[in-house]
Amino acid sequence: MANVLLLRTPSGNGSDRYETALKEQHYNPVCIPVVETTYTNLHKLKEIITEGPAKRGYAGVIITSARACEAWKSVTLELLEGDPEIEEDESADWAKVPFYVVGDATARVLTDIRETVGSYPYAPRDIRGAADSGTSEKLARFILRDLRDAEGKTLLYLTGDKNRDTLPSVLDGGGVRLDSLQVYATRGSESFADDLRRVLDSVSSESSGRWWVVYFAPSEAEFTTPMLREHFALASAAVDEEASSATSTGKRPARIATIGPTSGAHLREKLGLRVDVVSPRPKPEALVAAIHDYDATHQ
């Protein structure tokens, strides 16, 4: 049984979808949290949410990560606690503007807000993009197609501390203005090295052969790869075959997969790693199918 190391925080609402999908294909998955998140500017976000989209001329909201969704959820729950009786027609109604998101995972976090608070006016309702927009660039092009008379429109863009300029550049080219607000920051988990060591020590002898390492974000790759190299033989991008150093160094041979092309390109071009699998879509089923197909043809 091959092991799969998922460099991500497992889902907090029951079973993790990536772990479940991998187990169904007889893999032994384990998630290790890579980053720690701190939220910022929530007072500013609260002000914006309370005022509503019309006051600032927002034609919609862009959210590209689950962490930014959690920031919106946190403020919404705080407002609900302060005024639980407010009706949709009594205040700024965010249900009337589209929320553009990257991928299904981000969409699910927003949907959870509506399911938690019901018809509260600060909860998103119109969620667009999702499965049709698995990357920031795809989302930007989706917005330009979807937003009627896009030129001259302004969108609220919730960001973290690490952002690529692809989405803003594409939208700027289409005449769409962004009002950006950073709502969170991330840093490498102080316990990652110890967590990794514990996971490797706990893996049973029956499943201690083949390993897969799955990367989910370029910035996290910079942080984790040096520590991963201490335990795994990671092949160079210039090498076609499995890492030959595994046997001589005693390190575990590992294949590398990424959740999408952005992370794949970063690993190859910036870190010099060979990427064996790039998931065609940012979904558990797509990732697992790609890994399974690769294993079937590379014994």
pLDDT of 62-115, one tens digit each?
Answer: 999 989 999 999 999 999 887 655 655 544 679 889 999 998 888 988 999 988
Does the pLDDT of residue 206 top 70, yes or no? no
State residue 90's pLDDT score: 47
Q: What is the token pair recorded at 44?
A: 């500013």
Alpha-carbon span 52 to 30, nearest angstrom: 41
State residue 72's pLDDT score: 96
In which residue ranges of the chain is CATH 3.40.50.10090 found? 3-34+189-297, 38-186
Collapsing DSSP to helix, strand or coil, 32 comes out as coil
Does the pLDDT of residue 207 top 80, yes or no? no
Instruction: State pLDDT tens for residues 9-31.
Output: 887 666 889 999 999 999 999 99
Distance from first CA to last CA of the chain, Å, rounded? 13
Does the pLDDT of residue 284 top 80, yes or no? yes
CATH number of 38-186: 3.40.50.10090
Does the pLDDT of residue 248 top 70, yes or no? no
Q: Which residue has the higher pLDDT, 134 or 59?
A: 59
Contact 29, 238 (CB under 8 A): no
Average pLDDT over residues 235-255: 70
What's the chain's average pLDDT?
88
9-18, 124-133, 239-248: range with lowest mean pLDDT: 239-248
Collapsing DSSP to helix, strand or coil, 184 comes out as strand
Does the pLDDT of residue 240 top 90, yes or no? no
CATH number of 3-34+189-297: 3.40.50.10090
**pTM, entire model:** 0.73
Contact 8, 216 (CB under 8 A): yes
Q: Where are the alpha helices (DSSP H) in the chain?
A: 17-24, 42-51, 53-56, 66-82, 103-117, 136-146, 166-173, 192-202, 218-229, 245-249, 261-269, 284-297
Q: How far is CA 50 from CA 25, 42, 122, 183, 205, in A?
A: 47, 12, 8, 16, 56
Alpha-carbon span 173 to 179, nearest angstrom: 16
Q: What is the dihedral of CA 230, 236, 242, 244, to 10 degrees?
A: -70
Does the pLDDT of residue 299 top 80, yes or no? no
Q: Which residue has the higher pLDDT, 283 or 215?
A: 215
61 DSSP β-pair partners: 99, 156
